[in-house]
Amino acid sequence: MNSLQDLFSHNLCIRCTGRIFASVDTGLTDYERGLKLAFTYKAFFGHVEIPESCYICKGIFKNLGMYLNMAVDAISSMEYDTFLIGSKFDPDILLEEQKIQNKYGNKGESIKKEFNREFGKYFSEHTGKEFSKNPDILIEINTIYDSVNLIVRPLYIYGTYTKKRRDIPQTRWINGTGDSIESLIGEVLLKYSAGKNYKLHGSGREDVDVMMLGNGREFVIEIDEPVYRNINLNEFMDEVNGSGSGILISDLEFSDKDKIREIKEAAYDKVYMATLESDEEISREKLESTAMAFKNLVISQRTPVRVIGNRADLIRKKEIKYINIEDIHDKEATIKICSQSGTYIKELINGDNGRTVPSMSSMYGRELRVKSLDVIKIMR
């Protein structure tokens, strides 16, 4: 009983008193817990003065309407379906509250946690929006300065693209000039979403001079701070595809951050069509023998000279599934290659001065060069 008298000597309000024992029982609000404690005190010790607000909460739970209006004003232009409430409280207040709770067995919860929960319910009741742990928007209430900060989850759209050009990179150049697959898709989506910026995440990449044909390459386009989330994906797709840029997108769907990791970690075999050239007429017999030697062969590839500045200098083991001869004409030949994901196809053919072992050039016995290269299928 002395502890009960001591509890009310802190001159806390009903809610802050009840919050000291938030984990003791379920099914009650902190305010209801406080009422029960106050009733018990009165039953044994008589009347006690309990303030409407106290130095911990300062009556903040009476101001939910004010914070609602502030949040609604801040978010008024945004499209969103789900939300999460966060808050900032004076660290000195939180520390003082923790000291009191520690005194009584550390069985409570912080005012920050209760505020987030109670204001979240209040916000949902008045807006019809749903709470989510992975929300479209995090609404952070700064109770120190009575302000609102919005943290907007990026918009993620998954799809596949094909590229019928040999002069365009997948992502933007550092200086931001010139077309890229990223900019041709991202600029259109930026217009639809009114976002701040965009980034394309691809399931691997092809070289600037390599066309991406067939069933296309998977990608996720990410938009920072979108105002509009309910994009008409068909209209967006039609605008990109109708631009005459040589980039076509398909299979669009709304996605999330996890999809980026999924497509980047995917290890699909790929099928390529390559045109080779040599300084001399190509021998069908020697080229067919070379192609046969690579069936299910594991090669060693040291990071190519042409990309060493952007990649770690490593030796990678890659399996070549098959090489088929499609056509031979004088000093040129067309071949189809199926290989493990991550194989450097140009270096498989030219050898990269011995950094790829074996190479088609070393097997053939003469230098072979890539005249053109296309990805024609990704084996999903």
Q: What is the number of structural domains in the chain?
A: 3
Predicted pLDDT of residue 311: 82
- Binned at pLDDT 50, 70 and 90, residue 38 comes out as very high
Q: Are residues 216 and 166 in the same domain?
A: yes
Kindly tell me if the per-residue pLDDT of 290 is higher than 80. Answer: yes
Q: Are residues 139 and 12 in the same domain?
A: yes
Q: Across residues 356-373, what is the average pLDDT?
A: 97
Catalytically annotated residues: 207
Mean predicted lDDT score pLDDT of the chain: 95
Kindly tell me if the per-residue pLDDT of 299 is higher than 70. Answer: yes
- Separate counts of helices (H) and strands (E) for the chain: 12, 14
Helix, strand, coil % in the chain, rounded to nearest 5: 35, 30, 35
Q: Are residues 52 and 36 in the same domain?
A: yes
Q: How far apart are CA 107 and CA 111, in angstroms?
A: 13
Q: Are residues 22 and 118 in the same domain?
A: yes
**Which residues make beta-bridge pairs with 247?**
163
Kindly tell me if the per-residue pLDDT of 265 is higher than 80. Answer: yes
CB 171 within 8 A of CB 200: yes
Which residue, of 236, 265, 294, is where some domain finishes? Answer: 265
**In the chain, which residue ranges form alpha helices assigned H by DSSP?**
2-8, 14-19, 30-45, 64-75, 91-103, 111-127, 181-193, 233-241, 257-265, 284-293, 345-350, 360-364
CB 159 within 8 A of CB 252: yes
Which residue, of 249, 265, 281, is where some domain finishes? Answer: 265
Residue 335, number of CB atoms within 10 A of its CB:
21
Predicted pLDDT of residue 375: 98
Predicted pLDDT of residue 164: 97
What single letter denotes the amino acid at residue 254?
A: F
Q: Are residues 145 and 9 in the same domain?
A: yes
Q: How far apart are CA 83 and CA 229, in angstroms?
A: 14
Q: How far apart are CA 271 and CA 183, in angstroms?
A: 26
> Which string of DSSP letters, residue by residue, matches 275-339?
EEE-SSPPPHHHHHHHHHHTTTEEEEEEPPGGGTTTS---EEEEEEEEEEEEEEETTEEEEEEEE
Q: How far apart are CA 272 and CA 213, in angstroms?
A: 9
Predicted pLDDT of residue 1: 59
Q: Are residues 88 and 167 in the same domain?
A: no
Q: Are residues 10 and 145 in the same domain?
A: yes
pTM of the model: 0.88
Q: Are residues 138 and 220 in the same domain?
A: no
For residue 375, what is the domain's CATH number? Answer: 3.30.70.3190
pLDDT (tens digit per residue) in 89-113? 999 999 999 999 999 999 999 999 9
Cα pseudo-dihedral 46, 51, 56, 57, rounded to 10: 130
Host domain of residue 261? 155-265
Which residue, of 239, 265, 291, is where some domain finishes? Answer: 265
Q: Are residues 205 and 298 in the same domain?
A: no
Q: Are residues 257 and 273 in the same domain?
A: no
Q: Across residues 331-346, what is the average pLDDT?
A: 97
Q: Across residues 158-168, what is the average pLDDT?
A: 97
CA-based nearest residue to 359, from 312, 303, 291, 306: 291
Q: Are residues 307 and 347 in the same domain?
A: yes
Q: How far apart are CA 103 and CA 97, in angstroms?
A: 10
Q: Are residues 6 and 144 in the same domain?
A: yes
Q: Across residues 156-160, what is the average pLDDT?
A: 98
Kindly tell me if the per-residue pLDDT of 244 is higher than 80. Answer: yes
Kindly tell me if the per-residue pLDDT of 56 is higher than 90. Answer: yes
Predicted pLDDT of residue 178: 84
- Which residue would you say has higher pLDDT here, 271 or 45? 271
Predicted pLDDT of residue 176: 63
